Structure 1
Amino acid sequence: MSIPFDLWGQRGWASVEVAGESHYATHIRELFGKDLKPSGSEIVVTAQLVPDPQNRHDRNAVGVWVGNKQLGHLPRDEAARYVPVLASLTAQGWLPQVSARVWGTEWSDYEERRASFRGSVRLDLAEPHMLVPVNLPPSGQHRLLPTGAAIQVTGEEKHLDALAPLLRPEGECWAYVSLHEMVEQTARTSRTVVEVRVDGSRVGQLTPKMSGELLPAIRHLAQGDVTTTARAIIKGNRIKSEVVLYVARAHELPDTWLGPAAPAAPAQMQAHAPDFVPQVSPTSAVRPHGPIPPAPSGIRFVVPANWPQPPAGWAPPPGWRPDPSWPAAPEGWQWWIPVWE
């Protein structure tokens, strides 16, 4: 069973045209149901990109699907650029998917013949080298903050040795970063900021103002021993690099992402609880790499704590959907985690 994988780099606008829609007009029309307006309607759906190496017309063909309905395929030139990345993902058991805008219109001629339908599909698809992060997320419990506006990281010039292995010939790439609360000591005082790490190594920090935008979320997750992670673009070369986060601010996070509120601690515990923040010098040396763990022996399906827990080893069959009466899963929930047995 393939695991859905949301391709990175989606920015909210669909600019890649899908080819061959006229051959799949019936499938496209079915997506609208009864909501198709005579003047035309547009809907947003999640589309899967499936390589089709057995296609007799083009061995690089990539089909565009929504569920079990094909809507078209990538244009031949585009398919040749994208198929190496997409085929690599599917070979590893992933199902690449992106947001798609589907437009359709239907009309009847004056002689009241059968209605004619015309539809088009556009994909929110980044450049091939920006579809997949260059590194893995942290191995422990973590939550990925939703995508948001850009936040510039500072101090990257002090950590080029940690960034250089991630740089690509195209000059940019997506990467997982982890965010950590730290106290920065200055000559006269101290201040709390957010430290940014890649694969456990420090690559910079946020300004005090920008740190304040994310610290409430970092502290919220830290209460459950969960590491905060985010998407970042790393640009540059071995002599000059920069890191930019694309992340939602704490006040923009929906309640569904935050999850159920934690019960308040007893008064006597609150009075004696230490307000501990690790003391980290901004000029500390990069930590050495730890041991590389073996490849996971499998993956496990994980549901939110406020859902009925499935039997051990259970995985959802194709087409399975949660009971509508269950609470919505937090945004960005990690449905599958690797296991070592």
Structure 2
Amino acid sequence: MSIPFDLWGQRGWAGMDVAGESHYVKEIRSLFGADLKKDDAELTITVRLVPDPKNRFDRNAVGVWAGSRQVGHLPRDEAARYAPVLTSMIAQGWEPQVSARVWASQWTGYDGSTELSASVRLDLAEPHMLVPANTPPKTPHRMLPVGGAIQVTGEEHHLDALSPWLRPEGQCWVHVTLHEVTEQLARSSRTVVEVRIDDARVGQLTPKMSGEVLPAIRHLADDGLTTGTRAIVKGNRIKAEVVLYVARAHELPDSWLTGSSTSTPPATPAERMAPQPVVIPAAASAPAVRQTHGPIPPPPQGIRFTVPPGWPQPPAGWYPPPGWRPDPTWPLEPDDWQWWVPFWDR
């Protein structure tokens, strides 16, 4: 059974046109029920993006579904870009979904029949910005709601920690955690917020910006929870930036504050485990950045792990532990490399 996953990168407005709505007029009309009485009507709904590799017209086809009703599909050129990411998510047991704006207009034709035109638009980010590049924190935590941008400072001192998150596309989403720390100055000290990715420091917030989130960090700390939020890492190996997208303490609704009162609040499916990052091949003209390796599949039974040419040979019987990543300085693996082979091969 698939678990619904709200794709990241949604900005609050629908900018991508869906194609083929004219073939699904009845399905779209049914979404409005009795509310479609005036000339124009619109609503915002959540839709699922479902790849359709058996489609006889386009093997990259991606259907747009509202519940049990298909209301269109991604345009052919867009489907080719999004299908690999969406297919990978579904293979991992996730059900990609996004917010959509549906518009409809109804009128009476010359022959007295009821006519309807409709359009659907999606709040859909670029393919490489749909899922985070890392999994959520493994310690008990709670994610702050998404909000405005806050720039992290001091990233230039942590390029080694940021290098695994630099992408050919120039940016990616990550889970980060926020921690209250005391910074020693020459004659005094001050409290600021330290920012970490997978428990590695990547910078901190200015004292002013720290004050915007410290009350929430302390509120969760009282319940024994770490504070998590979303961030974008962007740049290259000589200059990288981290930007948080987080609600300030004064913007948190009472419902969120009340929900965090337990010591270990139930995690959402997205917080329990995030889809594995999907590596999208960079265009030939893309600028050179530090290379990234694809995820290592888990070991099946009765076969052994093998490394690509140019990698150091691991000890006999060694398996990659959870979360292990190849050294970014090692050569990229061939596209068709078989990580696991029977004991008697190779």
Q: TM-score range by the shorter chain?
A: 0.7 to 0.9
Deviations 1:182-211 (A, max 9, x none): 111111111111100001100000001111
The residue type equivalent to 2:238 in the other structure is I
One-letter code aligned to 1:241: A
CA contact (8 A) 1:37 1:105 kept: no
CA deviations 1:76-106 (Å, max 9, x no partner) are 0000000010000000000001110000111
Match of 1:167 in 2: 166
Give the TM-score normalised by structure 2.
0.75
CA distance in 2, matches of 1:35, 1:93: 35
Match runs of 1:206-285 below 5 Å: 206-259=205-258
Q: For 1:184 and 1:221, locate their aligned partners in 2 and report how far apart those are by CA, in whole Å.
A: 21
Q: C-alpha separation between the residues in 2 aligned to 1:145 and 1:36?
A: 37
Pairing 1:92-111 to 2, within 5 Å after superposition: 92-111=92-111
Letter of the 1:334 partner, please give it.
Answer: T
User: Which residue identity does 2:239 align to in structure 1?
Assistant: K
Amino acid at match of 1:39: D
In the TM superposition, what is the alpha-carbon distance from 1:225 to its structure 2 partner? 1.3
Is contact 2:65–2:72 with CA below 8 Å preserved after alignment? yes
Task: Name the CA distance, whole Å, in 2 between partners of 1:261 and 1:17.
Answer: 38
Counterpart code for 1:82? Y
Q: Note if contact 2:235-2:241 (Cα within 8 Å) is conserved in structure 1.
A: yes
Report SS of the residue matched to 2:34: coil
SS at match of 1:259: helix
Task: State the match for 1:275 in structure 2.
Answer: none
CA shift, 1:110, in A, is: 4.9
Matched AA of 1:55:
N
Q: 1:335, CA displacement in angstroms?
A: 4.4
Contact 2:259 2:265 in 1 (8 A): no
Sequence identity (%)? 68
Task: For residues 35-71 of structure 1, give each alpha carbon's deviation from its aligned partner in whole angstroms, at most 9, with x where no partner exists.
Answer: 1242311111011101111111111000001111111
Q: Tell me the residue number matched to 1:56.
A: 56
SS of residue paired to 2:35:
coil
- The whole-number CA distance in structure 1 between the counterparts of 2:233 and 2:261 is 35
- For the 8 Å contact 1:176–1:231, the answer to whether it is kept is yes
Q: Which runs of 4+ in 1 moved over 6 A?
A: none
What secondary structure sits across from 1:34 in the alignment?
helix
Aligned residues: 272
State how far apart, in whole Å, the 2-side matches of 1:41 and 1:207 are. 46
CA distance in 2, matches of 1:145, 1:25: 39
1:60·1:79 contact (CA, 8 Å) conserved in 2? yes
* TM-score for both structures, normalised by structure 1: 0.77
**C-alpha distance in 1 between matches for 2:214 and 2:265:** 26
**TM-aligned CA deviation for residue 165 of structure 1:** 0.9
In structure 1, C-alpha distance between the alignment counterparts of 2:37 and 2:247, rounded to whole Å: 35
1:182 corresponds in structure 2 to 181
**What is the identity, as a one-letter code, of the residue corresponding to 2:204?**
Q
Q: 2:223–2:261: 8 Å Cα contact kept in structure 1?
A: no
**Counterpart residue number, 1:146:** 145
Report the equivalent of 2:91: 91
Q: Does 1:81 align with 2:15?
A: no
Deviates more, 1:217-226 or 1:193-202: 217-226
Preserved contact between residue 5 and residue 269 of structure 2 (Cα < 8 Å): no
Give structure 2 stretches of 5+ with no counterpart. Answer: 274-321, 323-346
* RMSD (CA atoms): 1.8
What is the correspondence of 1:12-31 to structure 2 with a 5 Å cutoff?
Answer: 12-31=12-31
Q: 1:288-307, aligned counterparts within 5 Å?
A: none
Does the 8 A contact of 1:303 with 1:335 survive in 2? no
Task: Provide the C-alpha distance between the structure 2 equivalents of 1:262 and 1:80, rounded to a whole number of angstroms.
Answer: 45
| Structure 2: distance between partners of 1:21 and 1:155 | 49
Say whether the 8 Å CA contact 1:178–1:227 is kept in structure 2. yes
Do residues 127 (structure 1) and 126 (structure 2) align? Answer: yes
* SS of equivalent residue, structure 2 residue 97: strand
Shift in CA distance, 33/303, structure 1 to aligned 2, threshold 3 Å: farther
Aligned equivalents of 2:252 and 2:116: distance in 1? 40
Please state whether the residue corresponding to 2:102 is helix, strand or coil. Answer: strand
Distance 1:260 1:101, change over 3 A: closer
What runs of 5+ residues in structure 1 fail to find an aligned partner?
264-301, 305-332
Using a 3 Å threshold, how does the CA distance of structure 1 residues 43 and 209 change in structure 2: closer, same or farther?
same
1:227-253: per-residue Cα shift (whole Å, max 9, x none)? 111111111001110000011111111
